[in-house]
Amino acid sequence: MIDVRLLRSDLAGVHAALARRGGTEVLDQVDLAARLDQRLRDITAQRDDIRHQVNDLSKQVGQLRKAGESAAAEGVMATSRDLGETERTLAAEHLDVSEQLRQILLRIPNLPHPDAPDGAGEADNPLVKGPVNMPAEFAEHQRVPHWETATALGILDNERATKISGAMFTMQRGLGATMARALCQLALDNNADAFEEVRPPTLVTTATLTATGQLPKFADDAYSIERDDLWAIPTAEVPLTSLYAGEVLDDTDLPARMMAQTSCFRREAGSAGRDTRGMLRTHEFDKVEILAVAMPEQAAVLLDEMVVRAERTIASLGMPYRIVEICTGDMGQSHYRSFDIEVYAPGCDKWLEVSSISWFSDYQARRADIRFRRPLARGTEIAHTLNGSALAVPRVWAAIIENFRQPDGSVAIPRVLHPYMRGATVIQPKDPAQAMTGPT
């Protein structure tokens, strides 16, 4: 949520910043919000004035009663009672207008960082690094889609996953399952020097999913469990951001850094039919997320650091990758500034987004009410939040299968994963760990 006070102090500036994201409906919403805010403040002033009078009169009643002047007290009570009517009317109107305002504010996106590149969409995202590790050309045996290779090796069994749970669910088996877990372990180990490992809940309340910005606007993208009013998290960002919701942190606690491996659940409502094969787009997947709650002046450096950390893990796998910055027209609603890491998958011939690292300024923290206190300052300030995927399993997994496919159809396991693979260095068709192959 953006700061309402900006609508009063610099409406033109808000307009200019949001215009960079493209679209004009937002600007109308901003104007509407500004009008509602003005009205709300008028009502508040009137209501508070009435309350002030009632409070005064009530005190008088007490004093008159004590003095034994009950007739005078009755008169004052009558006056106060009448004022109470007006107060109720104004209070009801206040509630109504403030809820309207809130609903609009919740849907207004964050203002982009001044340095975020302008652009209309994905095609305008500037390349900031790479491609790294890109060979002059790929061998023919690498030009096989991972779902073919992996199914043949018996490490991917999407047919049975679909039987169990429906379309766009995947299942890894044998060394494929081991490697999925190994990837998470690698990402966790790579960041354990600076981030506290957390194992948060994966079902959260409506309030929690609203704090990070998924609700109310993107309800269709999330799985809900209506009977208990819970939602399945689309990313560990959701519970980790809300970990300190409603709290006032000490400046010495900041930046607070946390990481978590969780399942992530996405309905992919808008992308039915796209990327349905293999593991490019799935309803449930594992991801290691890193996250920081910080003071504003700490955030820019943290963003750089988190990009470097995500890159380091990806780079260590030895696959071609590049880093792009997300332009204003392609940024998510809550984002202030954002970078993606993409890995090249030769079998699909696609650059796959495997990590996204973002700075949210105070947008999420205001929704979540995460504040901090400076030593000498009076009052509190809204914190900044940042987060990023240290590693998202399915696409990295897929890219490994394609990049490291050998001429004989086996897959070489990247060296950094060897310690986590129980001695395996290659995934062979006749690997004894494969108990049963898929029903092809």
Partner RNA sequence: GGAACGAUGGCAGAGCGGCCAAAUGCAUCCGCCUUGAAAGCGGAAGGGUUCACGCCCCGGGGGUUCAAAUCCCUCUCGUUCCGCCA
Q: Which residues bind RNA (CB under 7 A)?
A: 5, 41, 44-45, 47-49, 51-52, 54-59, 61-62, 65, 77, 80-81, 84, 95, 248, 371, 373, 378-380
- E strand or H helix that includes residue 167: none
Taking Cα atoms as reference points, which of 354, 363, 355, 367 lies closest to residue 386?
363
Min dist CB 406 to RNA, Å, is: 41
Question: By C-beta, is 54 or 426 nearer to RNA?
Answer: 54
Min dist CB 104 to RNA, Å, is: 17
For residue 230, which phi and psi values (nearest 5 degrees)?
A: -125, 160
Distance of alpha carbon 429 from alpha carbon 413, whole angstroms = 14
Question: By C-beta, is 209 or 280 nearer to RNA?
Answer: 209
Question: By C-beta, is 28 or 48 nearer to RNA?
Answer: 48
Min dist CB 420 to RNA, Å, is: 25
Alpha-carbon dihedral sign for residues 238, 243, 244, 246: positive
Separate counts of helices (H) and strands (E) for the chain: 12, 16
Q: Which residues pair with 294 in a beta bridge?
A: 384
Min dist CB 255 to RNA, Å, is: 20
How, if at all, do strands 127-132 and 321-325 pair? antiparallel
Query: DSSP assignment, residue 77?
Result: H
Question: By C-beta, is 77 or 300 nearer to RNA?
Answer: 77
Question: By C-beta, is 52 or 415 nearer to RNA?
Answer: 52
Distance of alpha carbon 19 from alpha carbon 16, whole angstroms = 5
For residue 7, which phi and psi values (nearest 5 degrees)?
A: -65, -25
Min dist CB 81 to RNA, Å, is: 4
Min dist CB 84 to RNA, Å, is: 5
Min dist CB 178 to RNA, Å, is: 23
Distance of alpha carbon 129 from alpha carbon 109, whole angstroms = 28
Question: By C-beta, is 187 or 382 nearer to RNA?
Answer: 382
Question: By C-beta, is 61 or 279 nearer to RNA?
Answer: 61
* 335 neighbors 326 (Cβ within 8 angstroms): yes
- Cα distance from N-terminal residue to C-terminal residue, the chain: 50
Query: DSSP assignment, residue 202?
Result: S
Question: By C-beta, is 70 or 271 nearer to RNA?
Answer: 70
Structural tokens at position 321 = 């990758």
Question: By C-beta, is 8 or 163 nearer to RNA?
Answer: 8
Which residues contact residue 140 at a Cβ distance below 8 angstroms, ignoring those fewer than 6 apart?
Answer: none
How, if at all, do strands 256-265 and 284-294 pair? antiparallel
Distance of alpha carbon 413 from alpha carbon 393, whole angstroms = 15
Distance of alpha carbon 144 from alpha carbon 311, whole angstroms = 25
HSE-CB of 292 using CA atoms within 13 angstroms? 27
Min dist CB 46 to RNA, Å, is: 11
Min dist CB 78 to RNA, Å, is: 8
